[in-house]
């Protein structure tokens, strides 16, 4: 399922000025109900907070049992501060559909807000009935889209729904994605993506590991924040002052040779660790990335037999540790470089976020611009670690995710 919930702020020609923190509670409540399936059409949205005519909810829902709120919480008391509003749910790994006894693996999602940062999405092993109530969080901070208590965090500017132009998402068996769009308000604001993506299910390994370790679940958290995403061949944020862009990739409670009791990835968007950049002495055993890495440029159209031009769909692999030594000093994850299911990169600067893309077999996808290619991080040297300096940090990497629920 794909959704795009367009806010009804007067900043975008709507009838309501949402420049008040008290509106957060109602925006979050409708968002939760769309994700969990209680709201299935745009007419079910609260017209005070959302532009029903401009919003979209389309595509099939995920399979029964993948998303659930058993032992998850959201605060409903009107006496609670809107700045403390949160909701939580669990997403089961798609292996549950093949073996719902041995492969009942899941990760929790929690989304909260406070008076400083607009939205705080996190993947956890489990949740509790409180704000920031998630165990083994990734990213591991308790504030901001990427990092807590930092004036550099890209979400620090969007403190009220007035800055939230729209909220987009994908809800299917293999991927949950949430995208907060703020750049339509001003190019000084970031667009931000958070995803929980399943790695491929391998029954022999995953069923055995799940039986030994109750928190085993091969699901990866990905967080991006970037500026000027919807502009082609345009440099994003390169300044090292103020709100910055960044990428984060990670898992929690992995099991490897050197971590028999479980290990969580570290996160840092203030360095180039998670861009996947390698040097002759690179060894970051606690940091993760993806392959192709975020600095790698994916070129445009490919030729087709009938004379048309097509776009590549490049599967992504999750890299559990970064380094040129065989194990980057330690072995963190037996799952190794398993594929991320339901997530592809296509040509840079190709489709715009929310565009519907159909492949040659008739399968529908939604495109999302995620970050600017090359050296994507907050440190000044990070912007110079790139394939072509003349193309520095200018093209937008584009993801493709299935529109349908399965």
SS (H, E, C) the chain: CEEEEEECEHHHCCCECCCCHHHHHHHHHHHHHHHHCCCCCHHHCCCCCECCCCCEEECCCCCCCCEECCCCCECCCCCCCHHHCEEEEEEECHHHHCCCCCCCCEEEEEEECCCCCCCEEEEECEECCCCCCEECCECCCCCCCCCCCCCCCHHHCCCCHHHCCEEEEEECCCEEEEEEECCCCCCCCCEEEEEEEEECCCHHHHHHHHHHCCCCCCEEEEEEEECCCCCCCCCCCCCCCCCCCEEEEECCCEEECCEEEEECCCCCCCCCHHHCCCCCCCEECCCCEEECCCCCCCCCEEECCCCCEEECCEEEEEECCEECCCCCCCCCCCCCCCEEEEEEEECCCCCCCCCEEECCCCCEEEEEEEEECCCCCCCCHHHHCCCCHHHCCCCEEEEEEECCCC
Half-sphere exposure at residue 123, Cβ-oriented, CA atoms within 13 angstroms? 32
**CA terminus-to-terminus distance, the chain:** 9
Burial of 274 by CB count in 10 Å (0-12 exposed, 13-18 middle, 19+ buried)? buried
Domain boundaries, the chain: 2-402
- Going by their DSSP bridges, the two strands 219-226 and 175-181 should be labelled as unpaired
Q: What is the pLDDT of residues 93-145, one digit of tens each?
A: 999 999 999 999 999 999 998 888 899 999 999 999 888 889 999 999 988 99
Q: Are 117 and 144 in contact (CB under 8 A)?
A: yes
Contact 172, 405 (CB under 8 A): yes
Closest CA to 118 of 42, 60, 53, 179: 179
Residue 254 tokens, joined: 């992995």
Q: Biggest alpha carbon distance in the chain?
A: 64
CA angle centred on 180, ends 175 and 184, rounded to 5°: 140
Per-residue model confidence as pLDDT tens for the chain (406 residues): 999 999 998 887 778 888 888 889 899 999 999 999 999 999 999 999 999 999 999 999 999 999 999 999 998 666 667 777 899 999 999 999 999 999 999 999 999 988 888 999 999 999 998 888 899 999 999 889 998 557 888 898 788 898 999 999 999 999 999 999 999 888 889 999 999 999 999 999 999 999 999 999 999 999 999 989 999 988 887 766 778 888 899 999 999 888 888 999 999 877 777 877 776 777 788 899 999 988 888 887 788 888 877 899 999 999 998 877 666 667 889 998 999 999 999 999 999 999 999 998 999 999 999 998 864 444 434 344 333 333 456 889 999 999 998 8
Contact 8, 47 (CB under 8 A): yes
β-pairing verdict for 126-127 and 106-112: unpaired
* Alpha-carbon span 45 to 52, nearest angstrom: 7
What tens digit of pLDDT does each residue of 378-396 get?
Answer: 443 434 433 333 345 688 9
Structure tokens, 386: 């790139």
Strand partners, 243: none
Q: Are 201 and 96 in contact (CB under 8 A)?
A: no
The alpha carbon torsion through 373, 376, 119, 399 (nearest 10 deg) reads 30
For residue 295 the two structure tokens come to 């600095």
């Amino acid at each position: 399922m794909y959704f795009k919930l367009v806010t009804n702020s007067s900043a975008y020609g709507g009838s309501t000025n949402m420049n008040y923190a008290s509106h957060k509670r109602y925006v979050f409540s409708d968002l939760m109900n769309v994700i969990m399936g209680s709201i299935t059409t745009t007419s079910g949205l609260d017209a005070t907070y959302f532009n029903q005519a401009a919003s979209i909810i389309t595509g099939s829902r995920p399979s029964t049992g993948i998303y659930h709120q058993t032992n998850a919480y959201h605060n409903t008391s009107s006496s609670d501060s809107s700045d403390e509003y949160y909701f939580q749910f669990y997403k089961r790994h798609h292996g549950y559909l093949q073996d719902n006894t041995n492969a009942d693996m899941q990760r929790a999602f929690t989304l909260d807000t406070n008076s400083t940062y607009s939205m705080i999405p996190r993947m956890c092993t489990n949740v509790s009935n409180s704000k920031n109530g998630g165990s083994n969080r990734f990213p591991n901070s308790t504030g901001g889209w990427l990092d807590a208590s930092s004036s550099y965090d890209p979400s620090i500017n969007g403190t009220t729904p007035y800055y939230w132009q729209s909220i987009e998402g994908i809800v299917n068996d293999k991927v949950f994605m949430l995208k907060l769009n703020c750049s339509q308000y001003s190019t000084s604001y970031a667009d931000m993506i958070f995803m929980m993506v399943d790695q491929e299910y391998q029954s022999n390994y995953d069923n055995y590991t799940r039986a030994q370790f109750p928190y085993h679940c091969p699901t990866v958290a990905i967080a991006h924040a970037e500026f000027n995403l919807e502009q082609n061949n345009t440099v994003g944020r390169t300044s090292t002052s103020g709100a910055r862009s960044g990428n984060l990739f990670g898992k929690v409670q992995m099991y490897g040779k050197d971590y028999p009791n479980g290990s969580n990835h570290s996160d840092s968007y203030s360095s180039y660790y998670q861009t996947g950049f390698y040097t002759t002495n690179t060894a970051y055993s606690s940091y993760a990335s993806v392959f192709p890495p975020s600095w790698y440029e994916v070129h445009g159209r490919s030729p087709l037999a009938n004379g048309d031009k097509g776009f590549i769909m490049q599967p992504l692999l999750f890299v559990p540790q970064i380094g040129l030594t065989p194990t980057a000093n330690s072995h963190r994850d037996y799952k190794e470089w398993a594929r991320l299911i339901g997530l592809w990169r296509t040509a840079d600067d190709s489709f715009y976020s929310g565009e519907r893309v159909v492949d040659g077999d008739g399968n529908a996808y939604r495109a999302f611009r995620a970050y600017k290619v090359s050296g994507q991080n907050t440190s000044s040297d990070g912007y110079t670690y790139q394939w072509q300096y003349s193309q520095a940090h200018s093209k937008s990497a584009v993801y493709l995710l299935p529109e349908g629920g399965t």
